[in-house]
Amino acid sequence: MAKPFLDVLKGDRRDPPPIWLMRQAGRYLPEYRELRAKAGGFLDLCYTPEFAVEVTLQPIERYGFDAAILFSDILVIPDGLGQDVSFVEGTGPVLKPIRSATEADLLSMDGLQKTLAPVYEAVSRLTGRLGAETALVGFAGAPWTVACYMVEGRTSRDFHAVKSFCYSDPEGFGRLMDLLVEATVAHLSAQVEAGVDAVQIFESHAGVLPEPEFMTWVVEPIRQIVAALREKWPNLPIIGFPRGAGPMYVPFAENTGVTAVSLDTSVSLDWAMDALPVGMPVQGNIDPVFLLTGGNEMDRAVERIIDACRSRPHIFNLGHGVDKQTDPKTVQRLVSKVREFSS
């Protein structure tokens, strides 16, 4: 049976467009909060296949999305490479910062597969739990975004530490990025081998770099990852999400080799329809805050986005992730609106 999500990534238009949401499994769902309390630490939730499978399925069972995205985190890669990674309630991710090439050179691929084996076990279990029309999406953080966390040690507003590293020692920083490319290829390959239908690469901090550095540290590493994956799986659908890239979405789309791009909230859809490569599928891009306000304004935003994307294959999604304050009933209204408006 056909999977609408995958049909769109092959270049077909579907009416209504398939829908899934970034962070569709998470803290806004009461069933997630209940399981999270049972699991203990956040990484315990990610590394316990039984829990990861249940969390992945929660929004599918509640809303019937066209795609499930594996419940995990982009920071399992630095954890697997040997960096100290923890998640602190009220703070978020905290890592032991890597501020030099000497410190980066202490990281190793040796323990990656063993550490992340539970993630791949969760994928294997999920393949037998999803309906015939529901796709399973695997993912990883892009090397630049993951490096931002590894060097800064936590979420950053100015990115001074990671920029200082890559500007002052591009050779040393390049070794860290090469390692992250290798690890990302291994991580995504293992997910594909375990059964995901498509993958998404999250470049959440794409917008913080000037153009030359964007090409060096965003576009080129992702190009290498896509090329390595396509050597094994020529038809693997790969979605790139260079959040905050603005006009740099175009060279990203043209040079990385991704199948589709996910558009953030700031992107003008009229511009994107004209500027992006002809026929490239797009994903997005309703503002997650509309899910906080809901109502007729959200409905109108849905209509506007679907209308704007009628010239291309389109997957309806957010411009970022679901906010933890979102009312689950509003998500149901969104799904219903997408499916009834264009049918």
Chain segment 55-100, per-residue pLDDT in tens: 999 999 999 999 999 999 999 999 999 999 999 988 899 999 999 9
Stretch 195-218: mean pLDDT: 98
Of 7, 13, 14, 23, the active-site residue reads 23
Of 14, 27, 230, 333, the active-site residue reads 27
Q: Is 32 a catalytic residue?
A: no
SS3 of residue 61 by DSSP: helix
pLDDT on residue 26: 94
Q: Is 243 a catalytic residue?
A: no
- The mean pLDDT value of the chain amounts to 97
Q: Is 27 a catalytic residue?
A: yes
Of 79, 149, 264, 287, the active-site residue reads 149
Of 28, 32, 36, 312, the active-site residue reads 36
pLDDT on residue 65: 98
Q: Is 73 a catalytic residue?
A: yes
Report pTM.
0.98
Continuous H helices in the chain = 4-9, 30-39, 42-47, 49-63, 76-81, 101-104, 112-126, 143-152, 160-168, 170-194, 211-214, 220-232, 249-255, 269-275, 290-293, 295-308, 328-341
Chain segment 102-145, per-residue pLDDT in tens: 999 999 999 999 999 999 999 999 999 999 999 999 999 999 99
